[in-house]
């Protein structure tokens, strides 16, 4: 006899709870990353350096690919990080505006 915990609905609910928890942790990590990016933006502003640094972005992609053990393929991971870095550049540009 199958228990109610083994129903597809129960399995989905359990998986979705895990996803919700992971999403909360991702939000916290993204906000932590953003705080560091804000500091980098201030340093760049003070030193009159550009926001966009293609070599640094390449290094980020290489770092995440080297530490990716799947199942997400590297090309998908790169697309995710491209979007993250787009948003981080936006944060830096907004913070670097002289007021």
Q: Is the pLDDT of residue 97 over 80?
A: no
Cα–Cα dist 68/58, whole Å: 15
Cα–Cα dist 74/81, whole Å: 10
pLDDT over 90, % of the chain = 89
Contacts of 42 (CB under 8 A, 6+ apart): 95, 96
- Backbone dihedral angles phi then psi of residue 69, each to the nearest 5 degrees: -115, 15
* pTM of structure: 0.86
For tokens 């939000």, the residue is 27
Greater confidence, 5 or 56?
56
Question: Would you say 92 and 42 are in contact if contact means Cβ atoms under 8 Å apart?
Answer: no
**Three-state DSSP state, 99:** coil
Q: Which domains does the chain have, with CATH numbers?
A: 4-96 (1.20.59.10)
């Amino acid at each position: 006899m199958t228990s109610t915990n083994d129903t597809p609905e129960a399995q989905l609910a359990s998986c979705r709870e895990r996803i919700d928890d992971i999403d909360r942790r991702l939000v916290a990590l993204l906000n932590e990353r953003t705080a560091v990016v804000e500091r980098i933006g201030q340093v760049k502003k003070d030193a009159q350096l550009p926001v966009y640094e293609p070599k640094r972005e390449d290094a980020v992609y290489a770092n995440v690919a080297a530490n990716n053990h799947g199942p997400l393929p590297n090309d998908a991971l790169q697309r995710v990080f491209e979007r993250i870095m787009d948003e981080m550049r936006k944060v830096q540009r907004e913070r670097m505006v002289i007021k």
